[in-house]
């Protein structure tokens, strides 16, 4: 049986991410509820202000360069964390970068969009909230750039491709090492889930490792059935590329914390963001990690975990949203 590292060995990667990311026990929540709650700080991966997307770009950019591409296209919302990190990787790799961003172009850019402008790349705004419309515009842009002689590497929302998902297959290997270092075995891993790449990678890593806990993806945008299908499809495709397989039972999604929609704050999300900041000194965002932390806190209050269980919360980053 191959280890995760052996499955990943054939795939080139960068080491821009500051890995392994630290894991620490959240004493405040652990002592309050009798559950050992740990936090894996993927907000501290460093490059381009960090977050979970650097793990994906560590695999995506080498793939682009190996194909001889000189131009990157990344797709996301105006405040996309993925687009900000993709732009950082692209300019560092001496590539021309184009971002296709959903939403009107603001008069005064803030947050991630301000950083995109600072990087000196080209932004193309699409006045729509429909991901399919963004993708359509990105495809048209790719055609135009290709006709001009550019060799384009186009990445979808979140960088959620089989190659990008390898970043979180690798992260799961890291989590297994975290267990050994801490002397615990995690019963559950909980994190924000949106474009499927992070969760799909974790699911594939779990399948390879044989770990028997539960990975819980907290949807911040899509209904449970739709996101489960996305995660399973991407997990299967990713697993096939590295000679592994996954089972549908490994894909667990909870859509109870979306509220009125993507990027719309909820009461639980506000409470979680404030609690983590004021009690723990950890900053979350209102789009992704705040809703995942709201789910974590609600699970603790409702006794969804057995007493004494070990639960890992992955902080996937996104703090720049606080400056929007």
Q: What CATH number does the domain containing 118 carry?
A: 3.40.50.1100
Q: Which residues pair with 124 in a beta bridge?
A: 100
Q: How far is CA 255 from CA 79, 222, 223, 294, 303, in A?
A: 22, 7, 6, 12, 18
Q: Are residues 123 and 209 in the same domain?
A: no
Q: Which residue is listed with tokens 């949203």?
A: 321
As for how many domains the chain has, the answer is 2
Q: Are residues 121 and 202 in the same domain?
A: no
Q: Which of 80, 160, 194, 219 is catalytic?
A: 80
Residue 41 is predicted with a pLDDT of 99
Q: Are residues 120 and 217 in the same domain?
A: no
- CB of 199 within 8 A of CB of 193? yes
Strand, helix or coil for residue 294: helix
Q: Are residues 149 and 174 in the same domain?
A: no
Q: Is 243 exposed, middle or buried (0-12, 13-18, 19+ CB in 10 A)?
A: exposed
Name which of 100, 106, 154, 98 is nearest 126 in CA terms: 100
Instruction: Please identify, among 158, 186, 206, the residue that sits at the C-terminal boundary of a domain.
Output: 158
Residue 1 is predicted with a pLDDT of 59
Instruction: Please identify, among 158, 174, 207, the residue that sits at the C-terminal boundary of a domain.
Output: 158
Q: Which domain holds residue 278?
A: 4-52+161-323
Q: Are residues 279 and 180 in the same domain?
A: yes
Residue 80 among the catalytic residues: yes
Q: Are residues 42 and 77 in the same domain?
A: no
- In eight-state DSSP terms, residue 254 is E
Q: Are residues 276 and 134 in the same domain?
A: no
- CB of 276 within 8 A of CB of 293? yes
Q: Are residues 197 and 252 in the same domain?
A: yes
**Size (the chain), residues:** 324
Dihedral sign from CA coordinates of 165, 168, 170, 176? negative
Dihedral sign from CA coordinates of 87, 91, 92, 95? positive
Residue 2 is predicted with a pLDDT of 73
Q: Are residues 130 and 204 in the same domain?
A: no
Q: Are residues 102 and 210 in the same domain?
A: no
Instruction: Please identify, among 158, 180, 212, the residue that sits at the C-terminal boundary of a domain.
Output: 158
Q: Are residues 315 and 201 in the same domain?
A: yes
- CB of 133 within 8 A of CB of 157? no
Name which of 272, 273, 228 is nearest 254 in CA terms: 228
pTM, rounded to two decimals? 0.96
Each residue's pLDDT tens digit in the chain (324 positions)? 579 999 999 999 999 999 999 999 999 999 999 999 999 999 999 999 999 999 999 999 999 999 999 999 999 999 999 999 999 999 999 999 999 999 999 999 999 999 999 999 999 999 999 989 999 999 999 999 999 999 999 999 999 999 999 999 999 999 999 999 999 999 999 999 999 999 999 999 999 999 999 999 999 999 999 999 999 999 999 999 999 999 999 999 999 999 999 999 999 999 999 999 999 999 999 999 999 999 999 999 999 999 999 999 999 999 999 998
Q: Which residues pair with 40 in a beta bridge?
A: 23, 314
Q: Are residues 151 and 281 in the same domain?
A: no
Q: Which residue is listed with tokens 């650097």?
A: 54
């Amino acid at each position: 049986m191959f280890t995760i590292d052996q499955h990943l060995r054939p795939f080139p990667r960068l080491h821009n991410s500051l890995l392994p990311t630290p894991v620490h026990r959240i004493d405040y929540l652990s002592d309050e509820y009798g559950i050992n709650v740990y936090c894996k700080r993927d907000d501290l991966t460093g490059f381009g202000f960090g977050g979970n997307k650097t793990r994906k770009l560590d695999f995506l950019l080498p793939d682009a360069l190996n194909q001889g591409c000189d131009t990157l296209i990344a797709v996301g919302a105006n405040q996309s964390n993925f687009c900000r990190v993709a732009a950082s990787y692209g300019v560092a790799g001496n590539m021309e970068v184009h971002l296709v961003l959903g939403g009107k172009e603001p008069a005064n850019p803030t947050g991630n969009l301000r950083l995109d402008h600072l990087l000196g790349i080209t932004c193309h705004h699409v006045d729509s909230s429909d991901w399919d419309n963004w993708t359509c515009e990105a495809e048209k842009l790719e055609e135009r750039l290709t006709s001009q002689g550019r060799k384009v590497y186009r990445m979808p929302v979140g960088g959620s491709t089989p190659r990008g998902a390898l970043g979180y297959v690798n992260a799961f290997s890291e989590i297994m090492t975290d267990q050994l270092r801490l002397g615990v075995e995690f019963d559950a891993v909980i994190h924000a889930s949106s474009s499927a790449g992070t969760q799909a990678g974790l699911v594939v890593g779990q399948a390879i490792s044989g770990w028997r806990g539960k990975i819980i993806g907290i949807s911040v945008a899509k209904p449970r059935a739709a996101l489960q299908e996305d995660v399973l499809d991407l997990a299967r495709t990713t697993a096939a590329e590295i000679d592994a397989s996954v089972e549908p039972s490994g894909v667990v999604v909870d859509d109870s914390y979306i509220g009125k929609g993507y990027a719309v704050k909820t009461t639980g999300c506000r409470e979680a963001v404030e609690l983590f900041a004021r009690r723990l000194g950890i900053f979350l965002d209102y789009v992704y990690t705040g809703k995942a932390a709201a789910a974590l806190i609600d699970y603790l209050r409702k006794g969804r975990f057995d007493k004494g269980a070990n639960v890992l919360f992955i902080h996937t980053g996104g703090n720049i949203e606080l400056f929007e």
